Amino acid sequence: MSNFRFVIGRFLGAIPTLLILICLAFLLVKSAPGGPFDFERSLPEEVEANLRAAYNLDDPVYLQLFKYIGDLLQGDFGPSFQYRDYTVTELIATGFPVSLRLGTAAIFLALIFGSIIGSIAALNQNSKLDYGVMFFGMIGISIPNFVMAPLLVLFFSIGLKALPAGGYNGGDFYHMILPVVSLALPQMAYIARLTRGSMIEVLSSNFVRTAKAQGLPTRSILLKHVLKPTFLPVVSYLGPATAAIITGSVVVEQIFGLPGLGRYFVQGALNRDYTLVMGVVVFYGCLIILFNLVVDTLYGFIDPRIKQNR
């Protein structure tokens, strides 16, 4: 029962969060210079007036905000200013699956490989293998993905002609490899470092040393006593890792020409597509809140002490 209340409590607490997010984003976007209807050929006044009326731009700001929230509750994110024949809801619906695919694959890759690599390093501490892994870790963290991605393309697509240089092509495997790897690399490196540090810590803890001294088989030590505390910090890093993946996706989608939300967002911001920008911010905000909820719950299950403290 306490589980249930915990989840509900967090859920309800998320609502004011969301509202504040929406208001903040709305005000920010509205106060920006440059309107969506600035075109090279100046509009005749009549037409401009019609445009503004069609998009409700002449109402006072708070009215626009209320209308926006009202529409949101019905799942209507409004019309896009840039793509005049499409609604933001449609755009998010087509863009999100792309980013989702990219992001989930990247997170899994980072998590799995990062943990494995970090564990190997920890189990072979101070060996050449360990240094090699740590070096790789450092490279991953220090080379920005807008350098890594073109390098990968140069090598694999143009040099070896083995992989496509860009495009989504419905998200097929070959087109996703380079973008996912570019996106995952920094996080993989980070998780490797984290796992290694955490595992070394745990391996040298009194608890484990006692178990070893008592002659327990290595395998059961690993499984029963080492895994959980090692991966606790990794689980709690999932939140920031996801945030990093979301922001990294903006670069990766741009470089590889993937039609995801990150790309929509940047184009929207540069083209003053208010509704699209707002839509993406609100959408991601919801996702992050949801994700944090899931992580918190997971964490609560893994480490019962935490739940008590709340």
38-97 residues in contact with another protein (CB under 8 A) are 38-47, 50-51, 54, 82-86, 91, 94-95
Among 159, 173, 214, 304, binds another protein (CB under 8 A): 159
* Interacting residues with another protein between 116 and 155 (CB under 8 A): 135, 138-139, 141-144, 146-147, 150-151, 153-155
**Secondary structure (DSSP) of 216-241:** --HHHIIIIIIHHHHHHHHHHHHHHH
Give the 3-state secondary structure percentages of the chain, helix then strand then coil, rounded to 5. 80, 0, 20
Residue 110 has what DSSP assignment? H
Residue 297 binds another protein (CB under 8 A): no
Q: What's the closest the beta carbon of residue 194 comes to another protein, in angstroms?
A: 6
Q: What's the closest the beta carbon of residue 125 comes to another protein, in angstroms?
A: 14
Residue 264 binds another protein (CB under 8 A): yes
Residue 75, phi-psi category: left (phi > 0), alpha (psi -120 to 50), beta (remainder): left
Residue 254 binds another protein (CB under 8 A): yes
Among 5, 128, 161, 219, binds another protein (CB under 8 A): 161
Distances (CA, A) of 158 to 149, 217, 259, 296: 13, 51, 22, 44
Residue 252 binds another protein (CB under 8 A): no
Neighbours of 221 (CB within 10 A): 17
Q: What's the closest the beta carbon of residue 217 comes to another protein, in angstroms?
A: 25
Among 265, 275, 279, 300, binds another protein (CB under 8 A): 265
- Rounded Cα–Cα distance for residues 21 and 114 (Å): 33
CA angle 139, 231, 112 (to 5 degrees): 55
Residue 243 binds another protein (CB under 8 A): yes
CB nearer to another protein: give 51 or 116: 51
Residue 81 has what DSSP assignment? S
* Interacting residues with another protein between 3 and 42 (CB under 8 A): 13-14, 16-18, 20-21, 24-25, 28-29, 31-42
Note the Cα 293 to chain centre separation in Å. 15
Among 129, 259, 299, 307, binds another protein (CB under 8 A): 259
